[in-house]
């Protein structure tokens, strides 16, 4: 490649699809978001013992799952 060709190609860049994803800022998480099994909410999740219910759904279903409320 001579000098005239290199100066003509300086303004153009070629990118691949993988480069575009990182360049555009599309840093999406892959399956890391947890949601309530009952309502689909993202806030107030109870994940202990892999329950993954929001706190409102847990209060409704806790007795059926075998949890007991102590004084």
pLDDT tens for the chain, 71 residues long, are: 555 555 555 555 555 555 555 555 556 667 778 999 999 999 999 999 999 999 999 999 999 999 998 98
Task: Give the CATH number of domain 32-66.
Answer: 4.10.830.10
Q: For 48, what's the count of Cα atoms within 13 Å in the CB-facing half-sphere?
A: 5
pLDDT score of 63: 95
Domain borders along the chain are: 32-66
pLDDT score at 61: 95
Q: CB–CB of 34/47 below 8 Å?
A: yes
């Amino acid at each position: 490649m001579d000098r005239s060709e290199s100066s003509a190609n300086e303004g153009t860049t070629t990118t691949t699809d993988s480069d575009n994803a990182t360049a555009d800022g599309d840093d999406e998480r892959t399956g890391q978001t947890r949601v309530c099994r009952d309502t689909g909410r993202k806030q107030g999740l109870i994940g202990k013992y892999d329950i993954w219910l929001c706190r409102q759904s847990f209060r409704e279903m806790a007795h059926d799952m075998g949890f007991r409320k102590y004084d």
